[in-house]
Amino acid sequence: MEYKDETTSISGSWNLGQWHWKHETAVLMQHFLASLKDKKVLGLKCPECGLVYCPPKPYCSCLSIPEEWVEISDEGVVTTFTFSGSWSYGGMEEGAGTPRIIVGVMLDGSNTEMLSQLEDADRDHVDVGMRVKVKWADEPQGTIEDVMHSLPA
């Protein structure tokens, strides 16, 4: 694979809070989010191929329906990363212009990634394969914001 040292900038808002979710996904997400209030991360396991989805989804890539809830670790590995000038969630803009490190994290026990803002890390030392852990909200409320930040493990 050829490495290219170039940056692509995409402007706009990817506000997931404004997306319209199908009913099946909404029910699964409610269960997933409720577990976060107890500082537990749950994934949904496929009975056919064994893949674990976190966050959960109502179907598997093997066309089966994941049914079993499993607890997964709140630690994992960085699978991708980017640097952002701002971080927007739910229409709320945090620190416009302040550099942010946004990482895709595959938590141990899961086969899919979650997005997170990496804190307390030097951008020159962030890399794919880096170990990170969830930085839990001080008082989890059962929202995705409970796990939106991570720290080097």
Q: Structural domain boundaries of the chain?
A: 21-152
| Closest to 81 in 3D by CA, of 125, 22, 138, 30 | 125
The predicted pLDDT at position 56 comes to 93
Cα 80 to chain centroid, rounded: 11
- Predicted confidence at residue 23, as pLDDT, reads 52
Structure tokens at 104: 């895709």
pLDDT value, residue 1: 54
Sorting pLDDT into bands at 50, 70 and 90, what band is 75?
very high
Averaged pLDDT of the chain = 85
Which pLDDT value is given to residue 102?
93
Residue 22 has pLDDT above 80, yes or no: no
- Residue 72, both tokens: 């997964």
pLDDT of residue 11: 66
DSSP per position, 62-109: TS----EEEEE-SEEEEEEEEEES-EEETTEEESTT--EEEEEEEETT
- pLDDT exceeds 90 at position 134: yes
Q: Average pLDDT of 80-94?
A: 69
Exposure string over 125-134, b if 16+ CB within 10 A, otherwise e: ebeeebebbb
